[in-house]
């Protein structure tokens, strides 16, 4: 549950998710990733979702992002019922509502740091090209990469690539930032730097939800949701 007086920005109610391969569908069986999840996250919270591999934590993140659809239950994010939206509606909604940072960066290798950071703005046709480039430059400066704007991903360290990924995720200034093991491919020092960037975004008002198996990283969040065998088994920490 979210804290008293805090408006819910994410709500999962009775959510189940079963994955079925073509062969499994024919036999009526599949893998149950979530077995009935209720989760409310208030606007402005920073929440870590943790648990062992295969526990269902990444599935929860994918449902919040509208990448997956629930087998049962409802998913409401920023006032929209995602389980009732078409794929086209979801794509448009995701572009203005959700920023996602992945473990392996997923930058376009032939684009410079500025071009990668500008990509969501280009796809959304957000303003003239000159303004999009200037905005991308501002976002890169905010993550400490103003002097690396013209470099390709292969010319950047892992930590720098993840900083570009954060600049890209926040390009359209979405109210929610999701991290899927965002520090899993970084060393300890770089991971701490990455968390500080997410924490600063959270202090500025962005709701941050990240998945991690790293208990030390999870412990830095104000709230920890623990998942095991497709169920939430603990939900601890301060609420705003």
Q: What average pLDDT does range 33-38 have in this prediction?
A: 94
Q: How many C-beta atoms surround the C-beta of residue 23 within 10 A?
A: 9
- CATH fit for domain 45-69+87-237, picks 3.40.50.300, 3.40.220.10, 2.70.150.10, 3.90.640.10: 3.40.50.300
Alpha carbon separation from 88 to 66, 77, 80, 92, 153 (Å, rounded):
11, 16, 14, 6, 30
pLDDT at 4: 43
| 72-77 and 8-19 beta bridge pairing | antiparallel
The pTM is what? 0.88
Confidence at 26, pLDDT banded by 50, 70, 90 = low
Confidence at 120, pLDDT banded by 50, 70, 90 = confident
Percent of the chain with pLDDT over 70: 93
Give the residue extent of every domain in the chain. 45-69+87-237
Confidence at 190, pLDDT banded by 50, 70, 90 = confident
Task: Compute the distance between CA of residue 77 and CA of residue 69 in angstroms, rounded to an integer.
Answer: 13
- Burial of 177: CB neighbours in 10 Å, binned 0-12, 13-18, 19+: buried
Q: What average pLDDT does range 138-165 have in this prediction?
A: 91
- Angular region, 31: left φ>0, alpha ψ -120 to 50, beta rest: beta
Which DSSP string do the residues of 202-215 spell out, in sequence order?
Answer: HHTT-EEEEEES-H
What is the three-class DSSP state of 102? strand
Q: Taking 90 as the threshold, does the pLDDT of residue 6 lie above it?
A: no
Q: What average pLDDT does range 35-55 have in this prediction?
A: 94
Q: What average pLDDT does range 201-228 have in this prediction?
A: 92
pLDDT at 1: 42
DSSP E strand boundaries for the chain? 8-19, 31-42, 46-50, 72-77, 80-81, 98-102, 176-180, 207-212, 223-228, 231-237
Confidence at 3, pLDDT banded by 50, 70, 90 = very low
Q: What average pLDDT does range 100-128 have in this prediction?
A: 88
pLDDT at 2: 43
Q: Taking 60 as the threshold, does the pLDDT of residue 239 lie above it?
A: no
| 176-180 and 207-212 beta bridge pairing | parallel
């Amino acid at each position: 549950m979210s804290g008293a007086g805090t408006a819910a920005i994410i709500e999962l109610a009775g959510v189940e998710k079963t994955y079925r391969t073509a062969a499994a569908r024919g036999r009526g069986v599949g893998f149950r990733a979530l077995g009935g999840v209720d989760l409310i996250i208030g606007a402005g919270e920073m929440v870590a979702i943790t648990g062992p591999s295969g526990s269902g934590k990444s599935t929860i993140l994918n449902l919040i992002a509208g990448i997956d659809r629930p087998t049962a239950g409802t998913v409401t994010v920023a006032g929209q019922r995602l389980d009732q939206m078409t794929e086209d509606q979801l794509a448009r909604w995701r572009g203005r509502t959700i920023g996602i940072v992945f473990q392996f960066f997923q930058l376009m290798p032939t684009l410079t740091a500025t071009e990668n950071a500008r990509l969501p703005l280009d796809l959304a046709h957000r303003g003239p090209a000159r303004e999009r480039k200037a905005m991308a430059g501002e976002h890169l400066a905010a993550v400490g990469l103003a002097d690396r704007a013209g470099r390709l991903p292969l010319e950047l360290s892992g930590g720098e690539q993840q900083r570009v990924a954060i600049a890209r995720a926040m390009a359209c200034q979405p109210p929610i930032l999701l991290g899927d093991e965002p520090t899993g491919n970084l060393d300890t020092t770089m991971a701490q730097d990455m968390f500080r960037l997410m924490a600063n975004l959270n202090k500025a008002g962005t709701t941050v939800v990240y998945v991690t198996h790293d208990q030390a990283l999870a412990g830095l969040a104000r709230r920890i949701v623990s998942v095991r065998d497709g169920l939430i088994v603990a939900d601890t920490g301060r609420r705003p």
